[in-house]
Amino acid sequence: MLLELHIKDFALIDSADLKFEKGLNILTGETGAGKSIVIDSVNFIMGDKQSRDIIRTGAESAYVEGVFDANSEETSHILQENGIDEEDVLIISREINQNGRSISRINGKTVTVSLLKQVMKYIIDIYGQHQHQSLLDEQNHIQILDSFCGSSIIEIKKQYKALYEQIKEIENQIDRINLDEKDRQRKLGLLSYQINEINEAKLKPNEDEELYKKREVLANAEKIYSSLSNAYNILYSSEEQNSSYDGIGSSIGYLEGIEKYDEKLENIKNELKDVYYNLEGIVDEIREYKDNIDFEPDVLNQVEIRLDLINSLKMKYGNSIEEILAYCERSSSELNELVNNNQTIDKLSQKKKDGYIKLNKLAEDISKIRKEVAVKLEDRIEEELRYLGMDKASFKIVVEDNESLNEDGKNKVYFMMTANVGEPLKPLSKVASGGELSRIMLAIKSVIADVDSIPTLIFDEIDTGISGRAAQAVAEKMCLISKNHQVLCVTHLPQIASMADVHFKIEKNIIDGKTYTNVLKLNDKGQTEELARMLGGAILTDLTRKHSIEMKSLANDLKGKIRKT
């Protein structure tokens, strides 16, 4: 969901901060006020190509930032894959400067436009005269159909995808093994050399950490010995009569003669005895450590040689001893496969054959469900289109069988339609205008609203060429969809605007000879005033105001009924 949109020096907008909410967010304004600029700014952070002409006159750059509440599995996976920290919110920003270069960021990290588009397609869908319409991409049609299939297809698809991935891995294994003889021999030689090199090193887990510690001690042996000797002599020296150890012993002797006079003196003596015995243990540890220090240069040299070997292996096979040993294990398995390649290939080929038999059966089951459901979905969409004023439209879902299987099964799915009687069915991109596409998607979203995963939908020019009952129908469907999705809609129809949960007014002003586009969030009074303007034009009368208040009241009642269903 889009929480906030910050726009700076973008086209005619000097600075704007929009805070959107759940439900239906409406944007209205007079023709030419700049309603499209807000949509263009959203398209910009979705990866739309823009030239430096979009920068406001006199500014160095144009900047747009969107703050999203987006925590889907898809976006999380993409962020993790690209090393982007996940926050409570997702912050997408994009800036273009005067040399035409743009910088895109996700949660503060600079990213490519390609990655930006990859993330945004799971967050926002825009319908209108824009390139981000998922409805025009035939690759999305199969997902729309499967969404409508619901629970009847979910488990079968899950089984299919798991088996499909297993078979692809088997095919990869066969490809790795099934090299020509020269490549096979070269691979055998390389793997044997690498395995022997690692095995001869006889690595132990965490060995390098222990060696680094040992090297530190050996490299500083003289300093350590000298310091320990001084400490030992001070604490416990047979040559000095005033050592700490002897001093504490003497003190205990003095206390033993007076402890009988006061219980506190006895406690002091006992505590001093504890110190005496603890010190004795510490002195023994110092003496043992000191006496075992190795001053032989060869020992340090052997440690250095061993560390050099381990670091050399790290450069080749992994960043740690654990990774090196894991690489050796994988290489041993691959070597074993190559040595016994004929037998291994036979086993894998049989597994592949058995897998494809099961996979084809699952693909056939999925295809059967799709074809049955496609007919029902066609009828539902045509029913919705008629309700939305496209009563002459014909909609067809084509489910074809491919010769080969892919990760979605055996089908190719695409939508066909005609808006007029007597016209042949054609792909959506060839027959529908921006406004018609918006209504088609509105019809589809009305049918699959409960299972659709994209949280934010933006409708631009959805009301092109409609009025009256069709306009009211569009308003009601928009309200229905906003029950489960955040909807942003640019409209010039009061029937749609009256359904707003949040209403923004776009207006253009001229100040000191410069043109500014401003975005205002309307309160209840502002909404009725704007509805009155949309109903009656520039001159507002008591009648239009009364009409707008009545329209808003009726819309609120209708909204409540729609969202209870």
CA distances to 28, 39, 132, 134, 453 from 125, in Å: 20, 12, 7, 7, 11
- CB 132, CB 125: distance < 8 Å: yes
**Selection from 405, 398, 399 nearest residue 362 by Cα:** 405
Q: What is the pLDDT of residues 247-296, one digit of tens each?
A: 777 777 778 878 778 888 888 888 888 888 888 888 888 888 877 777 77
CA distance 308 to 201: 11
For 205, counting Cβ atoms within 10 Å of its Cβ (0-12 exposed, 13-18 middle, 19+ buried), the class is: exposed
Residue 120: what residue type? M
392 phi and psi, to 5 degrees? -100, 5
CA distance 248 to 273: 8
pLDDT at 2 over 80: yes
- For every residue of 107-135, DSSP letters joined together read TTEEE-HHHHHHHHTTTEEEESSSTT-GG
Element (DSSP H or E) covering residue 384: helix 341-387
Per-residue pLDDT, 10: 94
Strand pairing category for 124-127 and 456-460: parallel
CA distance 219 to 197: 29
What average pLDDT does the segment 477-492 reach? 90
pLDDT at 131 over 50: no
Structure tokens belonging to residue 247: 């001093």
Bridge partners for 508 per DSSP: 517
Bridge partners for 95 per DSSP: 63, 103
Residue 14: what residue type? D
List, in order, residues 6 or more apart from 377 with CB less than 8 Å away. Answer: 145, 148, 397, 447
Measured N-to-C along each axis, helices 434-448 and 468-481 cross at an angle, to the nearest 10 degrees, of: 50
pLDDT band at 510 (very low <50, low <70, confident <90, very high): confident
Measured N-to-C along each axis, helices 244-256 and 263-291 cross at an angle, to the nearest 10 degrees, of: 160
Chain mean position to CA 147: 21
Structure tokens belonging to residue 419: 């808006």
Please, what are the domains in the chain? 1-123+454-565 (3.40.50.300)
- CB 33, CB 518: distance < 8 Å: no
pLDDT at 241 over 60: no
Q: Which of 27-41, 352-366, 479-493, 542-556 has the least mean pLDDT?
A: 27-41
> What end-to-end distance do the CA atoms of the chain give, in Å?
23
Structure tokens belonging to residue 286: 């110092």
Per-residue pLDDT, 536: 84
Bridge partners for 409 per DSSP: 406
**Selection from 530, 473, 541 nearest residue 497 by Cα:** 530
CA-based Rg of the chain, rounded to a whole angstrom? 38
